[in-house]
């Protein structure tokens, strides 16, 4: 399994993948450690999770460089990602016990009953490369605090990140086997799901992988949480602060060089402010600095893999061939490279890939609409439903419109961003279940009813 720098295609390092036999041994180790880990107190788990937060803070630069060089994001973004991981560890170190404390139920006739939250066991996490630390920590922090243990099958292009994360937990003092990274291809995932001691699976990734893992887990009657793709709308009404909206829109489309599930992808703008918005938005995107990953001033470097740049370009090319207007001309990826230059497209019709598919990279799609009703129609006319950003100074109207948007979250006059404090997840083909906050820690626990007789 190779770790390749997508900026220059250099092999950084190479690992021998785990065999099926090794994977089964690792699962046995995880199960043994689970039986002891489930008995530990919240105070002990919290102490170790706080250590993990400190390990991340102390080694921020080291981990950020691994992330940047392995998947192409710029160092500033990678450092922010490591800091966010430290934050989620602290958050659950402090709050897990409260979230999982017994809940007394209101009962008739002086009867007594409560719900207690027991860990399930080994949870499999299948994770993507785009936020190679953050996606894993937002799974691992709540689950380890809940008393579960984790095994990670990370994306094949980020093995160094996978091993570095395992090291964070080791250095923090977690028992060996509490969190393990398996260097495997996706072919072995089904065998892991079938293992009797693996109790549930979570996947962050594409719709296709979601369907496969959900059906494999469904066959075994095991629970899944799926965090899949998105084609998030960014709606700007005529009474919004257009300047702030345009700047935020550019940031939202270009975060992680466009490779974010909650990046704004479709910009739905009321006609009377469309030209003003577009001019500001285009200027922001054009003004962003490209550079190498470790260049402190660079705002983007390259995409995470060559094939991803080529795939994105083919979606753009097909849309242009079908009549899309090129508002900002990007650049075709140079053969064999993960470079890409941002595009802005307009004049989109319903049959184009730019309308129907997720554009997982720096391509913005513009829609000019007559009013709120049309804005909502286009916003909801997608197979996805992850996040939405809505801009208007009328907060009462905004809240009413928010209720009509088919997505897991609506952010009013803000960029859509994940936070330990806010439940995160989608509807429709963006998946199901929630990560983060109190809801996130309650996904993989046995919510056990205890009814007490005389």
Judged by the rule CB under 6 A, the positions of this chain that interact with ligand NAP are: 126-130, 135, 153-156, 185-186, 189, 204-206, 209, 212-213, 227-230, 261, 358, 360, 386, 426, 430-431
Give dist(CA 122, CA 119) in Å, integer.
9
Closest separation in Å from C-beta 164 to ligand NAP: 16
Residues 6+ apart with CB under 8 A from 107: 113
Query: For this structure, is 227 an active site residue?
Result: yes
List the catalytic residue out of 261, 302, 372, 435.
261
Residue 230 vs 353, nearer CB to ligand NAP: 230
Alpha carbon 236 to chain centroid, angstroms? 24
Residue 93 vs 213, nearer CB to ligand NAP: 213
Closest separation in Å from C-beta 323 to ligand NAP: 26
Closest separation in Å from C-beta 426 to ligand NAP: 6
What tokens does 294 get? 């470790």
Answer yes or no: are the C-beta atoms of 227 and 204 closer than 8 Å.
yes
First to last CA, the chain: 60
Residue 342 vs 426, nearer CB to ligand NAP: 426
Closest separation in Å from C-beta 224 to ligand NAP: 12
In whole angstroms, how far apart are CA 70 and each of 157, 338, 400? 7, 12, 43
The position carrying tokens 């009377």 is 272
Residue 33 vs 126, nearer CB to ligand NAP: 126
Residue 215 vs 244, nearer CB to ligand NAP: 215
Residues 6+ apart with CB under 8 A from 187: none
Residue 142 vs 205, nearer CB to ligand NAP: 205
Q: How many CB atoms lie within 10 A of CB 271?
A: 12
List the catalytic residue out of 70, 90, 227, 443.
227
Query: For this structure, is 261 an active site residue?
Result: yes
Closest separation in Å from C-beta 185 to ligand NAP: 5
Specify whether the backbone of 419 is left (phi greater than 0), alpha (psi in -120 to 50) or beta.
beta
Q: Which residue is nearest to ligand NAP (CB)?
A: 205
Cα Rg for the chain, rounded, in angstroms? Answer: 23
Closest separation in Å from C-beta 129 to ligand NAP: 5
The position carrying tokens 């036999």 is 21
Residues 6+ apart with CB under 8 A from 162: 132, 136, 152, 154, 181, 183
Q: Which amino acids are annotated catalytic?
A: 227, 261
């Amino acid at each position: 399994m190779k770790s390749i720098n997508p900026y220059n295609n250099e092999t950084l390092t190479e690992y021998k993948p785990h065999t099926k036999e090794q994977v089964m041994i690792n699962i046995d180790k995880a199960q043994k450690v689970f039986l002891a880990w489930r008995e530990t107190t919240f105070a002990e788990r919290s102490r170790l999770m706080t250590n993990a937060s400190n390990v991340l803070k102390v080694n921020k630069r080291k981990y950020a460089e691994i992330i940047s060089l392995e998947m192409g994001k710029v160092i500033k973004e990678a450092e922010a990602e490591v800091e966010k991981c430290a934050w989620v560890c602290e958050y659950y170190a402090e709050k897990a016990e409260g979230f999982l404390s017994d809940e007394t139920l209101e009962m008739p006739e002086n009867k007594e009953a409560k719900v207690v939250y027991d860990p399930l066991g080994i949870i499999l996490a299948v994770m993507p490369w785009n936020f190679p630390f953050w996606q894993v920590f937002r799974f691992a922090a709540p689950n380890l605090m809940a008393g579960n243990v984790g095994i990670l099958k990370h994306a094949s292009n980020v093995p160094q990140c996978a091993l570095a994360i395992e090291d964070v937990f080791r250095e923090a003092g977690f028992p060996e086997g509490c969190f393990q990274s398996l260097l495997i291809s996706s072919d072995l995932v089904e065998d892991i799901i079938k293992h009797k001691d693996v109790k549930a699976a979570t996947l962050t990734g594409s719709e296709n992988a979601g369907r496969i893992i959900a059906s494999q887990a469904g066959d075994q009657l095991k629970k899944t949480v799926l965090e899949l793709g998105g084609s998030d709308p960014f709606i700007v009404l005529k009474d919004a602060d257009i300047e702030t909206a345009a700047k935020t829109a550019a940031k939202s489309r270009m975060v992680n060089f466009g490779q974010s599930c909650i990046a704004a992808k479709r910009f739905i703008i009321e006609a009377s402010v469309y030209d003003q918005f577009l001019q500001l938005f285009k200027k922001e995107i054009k003004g962003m600095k490209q550079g190498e990953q470790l260049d402190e001033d660079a705002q983007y470097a390259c995409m995470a893999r060559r094939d991803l740049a080529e795939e994105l370009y083919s979606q753009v090319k097909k849309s242009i061939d079908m009549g899309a207007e090129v508002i900002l001309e990007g650049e075709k990826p140079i053969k064999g490279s993960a470079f890409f230059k941002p595009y802005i497209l307009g004049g989109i019709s319903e049959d184009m890939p730019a309308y129907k598919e997720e554009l997982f990279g720096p391509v913005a799609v513009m829609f000019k609409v007559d009013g709120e009703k049309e804005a909502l129609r286009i916003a909801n006319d997608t197979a996805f439903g992850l996040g939405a950003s809505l801009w208007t100074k009328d907060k009462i109207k905004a809240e009413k419109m928010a209720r009509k948007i088919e997505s897991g979250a609506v952010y009013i006059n803000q960029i859509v961003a994940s936070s330990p404090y806010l439940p995160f997840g989608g509807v429709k083909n963006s998946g199901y279940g929630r990560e983060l906050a109190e809801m996130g820690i309650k996904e993989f626990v046995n919510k056990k009813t205890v009814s007490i007789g005389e």
